Structure 1
Amino acid sequence: MAKPTDQTDVLLVAATDIELCGHVGFVCGVGPVEAAAATARELALRPPRVVLHVGIAGARGITPGGLVVGGEAVYCDISAEVPVVERVEPDGDLLASVRAAIPEALVLPIGTSASVGGSARDAHRDLRVEAMEGFAVLRACASAGIPAIEVRAISNELSEGDRSRWRIGRALEAISDALPRLLAAVAE
């Protein structure tokens, strides 16, 4: 049975139902295109006061189960010669609240790529954390004027192609443990 958030003005978003860890929330789908389209539609139909986007991610040099708060969301798959938005920062008040709620978390830029296993673009090789939906969700929120923040739990080393070695269960446990504190923090 899903656990209600009691914060009806907070929209909890994840790519998959399992990443909601039993909480009531919105499943935006996997990958940046699906996440952007689904999130924009949900925000238009039922605009919340704030969005908390959670999920698992790959990283370089961060132990599985470690939490990362997105200091910014970076779109890694674009190589246009014209100016485009490729970075979105979280709401500053949300960032401060989330940092206070989960002080054990690192605060780092989180890359968004449609590629599992890390971005192939040289311009983003300095990113330590990558997932597949964060930029899309935060960009949809920014376009709608809704404050948002991304929090990820690490499941694997970015370069690890053998999914049997990923620690998805450990990452989901970390999200599940942090969600009550996160939901309380963003509801304030």
Structure 2
Amino acid sequence: MSLDPAKVLVIAATKAEAAHLPTEVPLVLTGIGKVEAAAAATEAIAALRPELVLNVGTAGALRPGLTGLFVPSLVVNHDFSADAIRALGHDAVDEIDLPDGDGTVLATGDLFVTDPVARDAIAARAHLVDMEGFAVARACQRAGVPCRLVKIVSDAADDSALEWTAVVDACARLLGHWVREQLA
């Protein structure tokens, strides 16, 4: 795959996750969490009109042995009561299919996962967990812009998540390398 930098928008939650991205690609930093990500992504898509959005960032592994970089095929909103909303007679989007993924499932929520019980509950539905992916994908879906999520495992969604600042630079280097490889 070869991407035209002028037609791609890269979205990351934090400056640390974006530290090694190529400078020729427009970048938006959203801040942490679904609300911040949705608001910033929507605003950037409306202003820049990209042909593709890449949401890059770190994620916790919900299952043993998951390491490295992933391009999820499905993203779910894990802390949204979609069934209850549907029971009240309203539509609720809590899953988004992502084309050209690697078969992994990313769960997004505002919960910073460090508790093994919470991790295991989310793992029943997903491989990885983050705090922005679903929100960015939903903003893209509503705007009609293709989206690709690119997540690198930074921790095991347990106490190791609290060491994020010690590993984020190495993760950012790998994300930057991946994005560079995709550019035309």
Question: TM bucket by the smaller chain?
Answer: 0.7 to 0.9
Structure 1 position 121, deviation (Å):
8.6
Q: Give the conservation status (yes or no) of the 8 Å contact 2:17–2:171.
A: no
Partner residue in 1 for 2:31: 29
Partner Cα separation in structure 1 for residue 180 and residue 55 of structure 2 = 14
Choose 149-158 or 71-80, whichever is displaced more. 71-80
For 1:142, the aligned partner's letter is Q
Partner Cα separation in structure 1 for residue 162 and residue 119 of structure 2 = 22
Partner Cα separation in structure 2 for residue 135 and residue 118 of structure 1 = 19
1:80-113 deviations in whole A, cap 9, x for unaligned?
41231001112x3xx1xxx6xxxxxx53010101
Partner Cα separation in structure 2 for residue 44 and residue 162 of structure 1 = 33
Select the residue among 64, 69, 72 that pairs with 1:70: 72
Partner Cα separation in structure 1 for residue 119 and residue 152 of structure 2 = 23
Partner residue in 2 for 1:102: none
Q: Give the conservation status (yes or no) of the 8 Å contact 2:17–2:169.
A: no
Select the residue among 33, 38, 41 that pairs with 1:39: 41
Relative to the length of structure 2, the TM-score reads: 0.80
Choose 19-28 or 40-49, whichever is displaced more. 19-28
> Superposition pairs for residues 36-185 of structure 1, below 5 Å?
36-59=38-61, 60-62=63-65, 64=67, 66-80=68-82, 81-83=84-86, 84-90=92-98, 92=99, 95=100, 107-117=103-113, 120=118, 124-126=122-124, 127-161=126-160, 163-164=162-163, 167-184=167-184
Partner Cα separation in structure 1 for residue 75 and residue 42 of structure 2 = 17
Count residues in correspondence. Answer: 167
Relative to the length of structure 1, the TM-score reads: 0.78
1:7-59 deviations in whole A, cap 9, x for unaligned?
11110111112222243411122100110011111111221111111001110
Q: Give the conservation status (yes or no) of the 8 Å contact 1:77–1:121.
A: no
Q: Which ranges of structure 2 fall in alignment gaps of 5 or more residues?
A: 87-91
Over the matched positions of the two proteins, sequence identity in percent amounts to 32
> Do the aligned partners of residues 62 and 176 (structure 1) sit closer, same or farther apart at CA in structure 2, a change above 3 Å counting?
farther
Q: Which ranges of structure 1 fall in alignment gaps of 5 or more residues?
A: 100-105
Q: Secondary structure at the match of 1:107?
A: coil
